[in-house]
Structure 1
Amino acid sequence: MKNNFIKILKFEIFYKIITIIILLPFLNKVLQMYLNNHSAVGIVFNQNILFGFFSFKGILVVLFLLVYSLLIVLYEYSVIINMISLYVKQRPFRIYEVMKVSFINLKGLKHPSIIICGLYYLLILPLAHIGYLNALIPSFKVPNFIFGELSLTFSGNILIVLIYLLYYGVYLLLLFVPFYMILKKENFIKAFKDNFALYKKLEIKDRFILIAILVIWFIVETKIIMLLPDAVIKNTDFNRFFLRNMIISARFRIYFFEYLVYTFITIIGMYFFYYFYLKIINKYDQELLNVNLDHEISQKLDNTLIQTKLKASNLTKFINKYILTNKFYLKHTFIINTILIISVVILITCLFSDSIYLISVLLIIILFLYFIASIYNFYELKTTGKSSILDNRNSAIFYPYQIIKRYLSQSKLYKKHPKIISFILITMSGLLISMYLQLPGKIHQPIIIGHRGSKYGVENTYEAIIKAQNNHSDYAEIDVQLSKDGIPVVIHDTNLLRLAHLDREVSSMTANELEKVTVYERQYQGNIITLDHLLKKLKKEKIKLLIELKADNNQIELSEKVINIVEQNNFENRTIYMSLDYEIVEFLQEKRPEWWIGYCIYGSAGQIDASIWKLKIDFLAVEENMITVNFVDKANSNWIPIYVWSVDDKIKMDQYLDIGVSGIITNYPDRSYEVVKKYLEKNHQYYPYQIINNGSLQPIIN
């Protein structure tokens, strides 16, 4: 069993690396190419993620990405299930052989049920996250804000339970489908029928064992997550800045260590999950496990590889005979090689724009190793009078130095001025490394924003906002929408049922009627208030406001009225603004470009780069499930501060601050205050912007 597990571990490590450095970047490249042609900034947010693909080309791209992702995921399952089934049958195998023949197990995808199959493998299994784990989509969670909103009402809590029952129920119903699709090479529909037939055969004892395995997995994983709260690294964090983060950030090294521990434990769990389930299946369907390595297919693949090697060998001979021994090439070797290298780099970067960053990192690593080897060479010459680096074939550290030295030896300039050229290369390596290790700074000192005021009062009421102020909030976030008579009122829901137990729409009542309504939340009660009355009551207070505009096909009217009320009350220097509706963000930026205006987002597709400035946003208010080291790094690199919502857990607050967010939107400002205070005591850095006394954000002028 130990040897078999080691084989699976080796494959999982290999496949994880291949997924991160090849398969996932290709998927992102296809997506990015489409978005670059159909979006002004190469990235879409919120509902536009769906609407952005409502075209013939968009549907084709989605189908391609679905099939491509499905192949990646199912192939990984195929290799692991084949290896464990061979072990259960006590048949020896080699990883390479299993990997080759596992391609044949993908036959079941050639069927109209591929769409349903994709939803099952790419959505249901990652949602359940029990047993069937994969490198491409390790897990998938329902965004916290969805369950957060639903949990505020009794009916919402019932709906949450029903959602859990739905996807765990589907998971249980289709539990054996992957085994039949892979081992019998069946399509999804046929595998479902065989899966259902197997369920009928199961004895009560075995059904109990199946359920027990699932429950144990759930409990153990929950416990592991509690013990490893910093295992927050995602696939996207293995990017060009991974090495920098490992060198610079002690916290990132902890993230990576806990990620490795968590991954190792889940691979162990996955191994036993497959093993015990296959033992149960073998008890009722012995034909299923009669896996034979298809040596004919394996031989064909080997022959293809041999033919490829022969062609490559012939090409090498041709190059050696007609190019490398050519008199012109021999005379101008250095110049020709330099032109070829530059041409290849330009071609690669034109075809794959992101590759310039990877090439830069590779160059930095090579120059760093050259720098280390140069120091060693200098020390060796100083102490022994001779150098052994060029003749040392056993050390990978010296390999870049050897290559560069041999390359430079072809240059007449280097032969004439070796010390000057070496000094230039060493200086370049030092500069590039220092530039690479430079972390993107935060735009301003972290701020605390009370979500809908705070939980120490009824949301969006004056009392909740004052409690936010008393608990050290820099800002109180409030929601504003229009009443029936077109007056901005401070309330989140469009219906009063949850807070006032009154089944009336906000848009069906006048502002005067709404202000008479009493709202309740836990042990608190209060009254709905108009934006105008709220600003008047807050004039003598210190709290600032983050106003979120919530429109219902009245974006322009709502925006204009908010502008008028804020300016009439001279409150513009104590407010910042955001909306889920980009039309509102765009309108506010056009009318008041000097204001601090952000875009509130709960999802995105595409990569953040400098083109995001075309959106004319000052910050992003991001749902916490979107936060990754990579996402925040890119935002900070492009001078877009990130405010994360809604975070109530202290451990997560600390993680997000360390990752680089500039603001915490929370229901409990007192918790956030403690975390931010400790963070600022530990971390001292320069912030180009500051929050001045009246609440506005202004650049620091030295």
Structure 2
Amino acid sequence: MDIRGNRQLLLKWTGQLVLFMLVVNVLHRLILQPLTNFIFFMALQTTGYQVLFNTDMLSFFSTPQAILAALLIIGIASYAAYLEFSVIVILSQYLKSGKLLSLKDAIKKALTTFSSLRGISLVGYFFYVFIFLPVSGMGLSSALFSRFQIPNFITGELTKHSWGGLANFLIYGLITLLFFLFIYTIPMMVLEQWRFFKAFKRSIYYVWKNKQSVFKLFALYGVVWLVADWLPREVFLRMLHSTAVNFEAIYQTYRLSMPTLGFSVILLFYYIGKFVLMPILLSMVVMFYSPENNQVIDLEKEQAVDNKLAAAQKSIGVFGKKLTSKKGVVLLLAVLIIVPMIGSFYRMIEGAEDLHEPIVIGHRGSVAGVENSLAAIQGAIDAGAEYAEIDILLSADGIPMVIHDDSLKRLADIDQSVHELTAEELGKIALKQNGMVGEIATLEEVAQLTKGKINLAVELKRHGHEKENLVDEVADVLKEHGLLEESIFLSLEYRLVDEMNTKYPKTISGYCIFGGMGVLDPGVIRTMNIDFVFIEEWMATREYLMEFRRAWLPVYVWTVNQKESMRQLLDLGVLGLVTDYPEWGTEAVNEFQKETNRVYLEEEDWQRN
């Protein structure tokens, strides 16, 4: 039967997919997410943590409670996502033969295929669905966890090399290639009832064997993904400087005006697409696949599932019947739609005190010279930045040196380390980066250059071979030049931040966070001995920012190297842009100040709180 000519059948099938995805999102929001969060927070509390940052996450996940919680969450999330995918695969396979299967029957048949997740296959499937597919960003992701990006501190470090841009391109190119090579994995698990690793390997074989028809699928898949997913996000990024497609970005730029209507249509198209994009894309894959096993579902297994469902329905009783009635479904769908709308509106009007005017911090100085060199710092001065961020490591003779890596391999192509050489020896080494040449400066030399021109944001770094106290050595140099209290200090190690603030209470020191887990409670954050936080750009959500701001902590974001992102982050409430291009940051802050009417607290007022 030619399904392309049967419009009525296609419309009914599409309606089934929309209804199914609505129900899936409701169940994820109301049941699965609260359940997995509960398991995680129970493990968190039993280990004495309330919130996790940086290396604390590694310590937490080495505990028995965390391991048990992780296994439970992996199991729950994997089975939920598998059911979601398998129902779509089965509906699509029956449509392919010209039949319309009811959602109830599709779910029953999907439950008979769970044997594909036995043993180690479950773990492999979890990483494929919840790590690889979201990182690929190609739309074939579960509603439970749909998008994830490689942190900027990884991709950003690559761009420090002359070949960094090419490396990033190759990494994402490889991810995309692997995505299409593994694209038949899920249909094979469902239709052939193969375990994950077998389906994984057979998908590659199938793609290679059926190159001609598969390339047609790839082309069609790419067009649908570009129009429904990539294009709306690109419009919001380029025209609204927003990294997220939401009404908040429209409202902040146009308020209630005519352009708001046009962008709202794009927003509506995007959110409708979010519900149907994954099932449509997965269905396309199924349409281009010919299973080896003609009998999709074992009839004996289906009868066993029928018996179990009947027993479950009997135990649920009256409440279950009400919940699955039409009114119950409508109520659940209303919750799914209304709650996010209320949350979005609340985020637009909620706020916290604007502690100080936004500042620009030149990351490792700037790109005007080799990172952390005097030329790079001069670039931050010329750009009008408020601070030049520098990294400090101690030399073999205990002198604070301005350099990021302990290993000299990346910048000098030398198989030696900072901790092995004296300050004099380090000063003779030529550093090369992006066609530029520089030298390793001492903190003393940097202090002489910057005094009266720009403030310093000093990142304290340990290589583990210190013979002197890092905090004291840095403080002594800056104190000698009268810069100790004018500078700010930060570190990825909370212990160093706490030590600086304890020994030198008049200084301002903050915590540099590259990852966090748990509930951000302002009351808990206030117990930390910190004055501000540096966070990664991907962590800069409105909710995350406001919780820190309610704890009276300014939030500075690193490393922001896109002009489009700078204004969006300022609108969200970021008070500091850490960037390799401080001239762009200065321009963005100046425009932001002209176009907004913010009232800022005096420094002594917010610091006292």
Same fold by TM-score greater than 0.5? yes
How many Å separate the matches in 2 of 1:646 and 1:246?
21
Matched residue type, 1:631? Y
Choose the corresponding residue for 1:472, options 352, 373, 384: 384
Is the Cα contact below 8 Å between 1:688 and 1:700 reproduced in 2?
A: no
Structure 2 counterpart of 1:6: 15
Structure 1 counterpart of 2:331: none
SS in 2 for 1:484: coil
How many Å separate the matches in 2 of 1:442 and 1:207?
54
Identity rate, percent: 28
Structure 2 counterpart of 1:62: 70
Deviations 1:456-508 (A, max 9, x none): 22221222222212212111111111111110011112233333344432222
SS in 1 for 2:288: helix
How many Å separate the matches in 1 of 2:265 and 2:396?
56
Structure 1 counterpart of 2:52: 44
Shift in Å at residue 223 of structure 1?
4.0
Alignment partner of 1:153 is 2:161: yes
SS in 2 for 1:643: strand
Which of structures 1 and 2 has the bigger CA Rg? 1
Choose the corresponding residue for 2:129, options 99, 105, 121: 121
Shift in Å at residue 83 of structure 1?
2.2
Deviations 1:517-546 (A, max 9, x none): 33333354333211012112322x331111
- Superposed counterparts of 1:180-579, under 5 Å: 180-192=188-200, 195=203, 198-199=206-207, 202-213=209-220, 215-216=222-223, 221-229=229-237, 232-233=243-244, 260-282=268-290, 285=292, 287=294, 294=302, 297-298=305-306, 300-302=308-310, 304-310=312-318, 438-539=350-451, 541-553=452-464, 557-579=469-491
Matched residue type, 1:13? L
SS in 2 for 1:573: coil
Shift in Å at residue 698 of structure 1?
6.1
Structure 2 counterpart of 1:25: 34
Shift in Å at residue 452 of structure 1?
0.8
Is the Cα contact below 8 Å between 1:130 and 1:217 reproduced in 2?
A: no
Choose the corresponding residue for 1:136, options 133, 144, 156: 144
147-156 vs 448-457, which moves further: 147-156
How many Å separate the matches in 1 of 2:73 and 2:489?
36
Matched residue type, 2:44? L
- Return 5+ residue gaps in structure 2 as ranges: 1-9, 322-334
* 1:448–1:196 distance in 2 versus 1, CA, 3 Å: closer
Matched residue type, 2:517? A
Shift in Å at residue 435 of structure 1?
13
Matched residue type, 1:18? L
* 1:608–1:596 distance in 2 versus 1, CA, 3 Å: same
Choose the corresponding residue for 1:680, options 593, 596, 601: 593
* 1:260–1:689 distance in 2 versus 1, CA, 3 Å: farther
Is the Cα contact below 8 Å between 1:629 and 1:659 reproduced in 2?
A: yes
Is the Cα contact below 8 Å between 2:108 and 2:302 reproduced in 1?
A: no
Deviations 1:345-369 (A, max 9, x none): xxxxxxxxxxxxx9xx99xx9xxxx
Is the Cα contact below 8 Å between 1:131 and 1:274 reproduced in 2?
A: no
SS in 1 for 2:490: strand
Between Structure 1 and Structure 2, how many residues are aligned?
569
* 1:207–1:79 distance in 2 versus 1, CA, 3 Å: closer
Alignment partner of 1:632 is 2:545: yes
Is the Cα contact below 8 Å between 1:213 and 1:273 reproduced in 2?
A: no
Matched residue type, 2:38? K
Choose the corresponding residue for 2:572, options 633, 636, 659: 659
Is the Cα contact below 8 Å between 2:158 and 2:167 reproduced in 1?
A: yes
Is the Cα contact below 8 Å between 2:356 and 2:602 reproduced in 1?
A: yes
SS in 2 for 1:513: helix
596-605 vs 303-312, which moves further: 303-312
Shift in Å at residue 77 of structure 1?
1.1
How many Å separate the matches in 2 of 1:173 and 1:121?
15
Shift in Å at residue 199 of structure 1?
4.5
* 1:543–1:510 distance in 2 versus 1, CA, 3 Å: same
How many Å separate the matches in 2 of 1:106 and 1:251?
49
Is the Cα contact below 8 Å between 1:130 and 1:214 reproduced in 2?
A: no
Deviations 1:39-76 (A, max 9, x none): 44x11122322222112222111111211221222222
Is the Cα contact below 8 Å between 1:177 and 1:195 reproduced in 2?
A: yes
Is the Cα contact below 8 Å between 2:485 and 2:508 reproduced in 1?
A: no
Deviations 1:263-312 (A, max 9, x none): 43355543443233222213x63616569894773575356335533589
Instruction: Name the TM-score, length of structure 1 as normaliser.
Output: 0.73
How many Å separate the matches in 2 of 1:435 and 1:146?
30
- Return 5+ residue gaps in structure 1 as ranges: 314-357, 366-432, 691-696
Cα root mean square deviation, aligned: 3.6
How many Å separate the matches in 2 of 1:563 and 1:132?
52
SS in 1 for 2:510: strand
96-105 vs 453-462, which moves further: 96-105
Matched residue type, 2:408? L
Shift in Å at residue 174 of structure 1?
3.0
Instruction: Name the TM-score, length of structure 2 as normaliser.
Output: 0.83
Structure 1 counterpart of 2:3: none
How many Å separate the matches in 2 of 1:445 and 1:17?
41
Is the Cα contact below 8 Å between 2:214 and 2:288 reproduced in 1?
A: no
Structure 2 counterpart of 1:646: 559
How many Å separate the matches in 2 of 1:163 and 1:435?
35
Is the Cα contact below 8 Å between 2:355 and 2:606 reproduced in 1?
A: no
